[in-house]
A = this chain, B = another copy of it.
Amino acid sequence: MSVKVSIIGASGYGGGELARLLAGHPEVELVHLTAETRAGEAMADLYPNLRSFTDLITTAADPDRIARDSDLVFIALPNSKAMEFAPQIAPHARIVDLGADFRFKDPLVYEQWYKTAHACPLLLDDSAYGLTEFRRSEIRSSRIVGNPGCYPTAALLAILPFLQAGQGSAGGIVIDAKSGISGAGRTPSMGTHFSEVNENVMPYNVGSHRHTPEIEQELSRLGDSPVAVTFTPHLIPMTRGILVTAYVPVHNGLTTDDATAILQESYAAEPFVRVLADGLPQTKATTGSNFCDVAARVDRHSRMLIAMAALDNMVKGASGQAVQNMNVMLGFPEELGLRSPGLYP
């Protein structure tokens, strides 16, 4: 008994990756795929890896029809677009939004960082922040899931167990993140031009990246007190992958073994978080998969906990976690269609 699923925004990388993952999901039937400028093109022409997997032709977005025909709708559009469609869709179909529109509990925070008033703040009450490992029950019962940003997914999975365990100070947390270029999406620009970013590493949006309030919201809600972090993202010359190296000042006798035990306890039952006791996370171990690998070390010399997480920004950092949330929302086994190892090398 399959469910009917549509993707609004299928031509971007988030949408393409959803289509790839759903092609292997035994309970999903894809109904509508929408694209804007490229509407009318075959999905398999937009994503040549999907040749022989789908004959669907992308269409312009018709939210009423999509809502009527679908049990669940993924929205993979630029920020502030989902909140235009959501009011029409939400009464008929559940929604997983891969953008930022439904990630914030406080619409003023959204407005402050995204420079536009929220179009449907009432819907936020029926929305869950989709970090599956920490909000499973809310996700199960919400109309809308605001799928986390790629950086927050990695940062939160690295840090949250420690704050929940009462380790680490709320002040002085540094999150240094490294992302592959696919995180910038499929629209060409100087910032994604091969010759500019290849053989290059650079920080960007220092002190001002929009994922900062998202990380702080969840650290504050799930930890025990308001948290302000220093978050610096960097672009790395590779296609997929995010590595977060987080620095949390510790003022007691926490050891590396303690820290590893905290991670192991937090994630013992989690199907998609792997705790490394010996090795260190590397993005390649997760490429193409829904896994997040985490590890921690304590530098006793400088009294700093170093918490690390690696994941594929396109999968666990976006579309894979979105499918994981869909599974939770619709009562499927959480790993359905998602459990496969990544590519290595």
Write the residues of chain A forming the contact surface with B, with a CB cutoff of 8 angstroms. Answer: 13, 16, 20, 23-24, 45, 47-53, 172-174, 176, 178, 180-182, 186, 188-190, 192-204, 206-207, 228-230, 232, 234, 236-241, 243, 245, 247, 249, 271, 274, 279-289, 291, 293, 297-299, 301-302, 304, 306, 308, 310, 340-345
Contacts and interface: CB of A to CB of B under 8 A. Distances in A.
Contacts of A238: 198-201, 237
A208 to B, nearest CB: 9
Contacts of A181: 194-195, 198
B343 A20 contact: yes
Contacts of A24: 340-341
Contact of A192 (B53, B188, B232, B302): B188
Given A287-B49, A302-B228, A236 B201 contact: yes
Given A202-B282, A204-B280, A207-B301, 11 more contacts: A53-B341, A181-B195, A199-B239, A199-B287, A200-B284, A201-B236, A202-B284, A206-B280, A206-B306, A230-B247, A230-B304
Given A16-B344, A49-B343, A195-B345, A207 B286 contact: no
Contacts of A194: 181, 192-194, 197-198, 237, 239
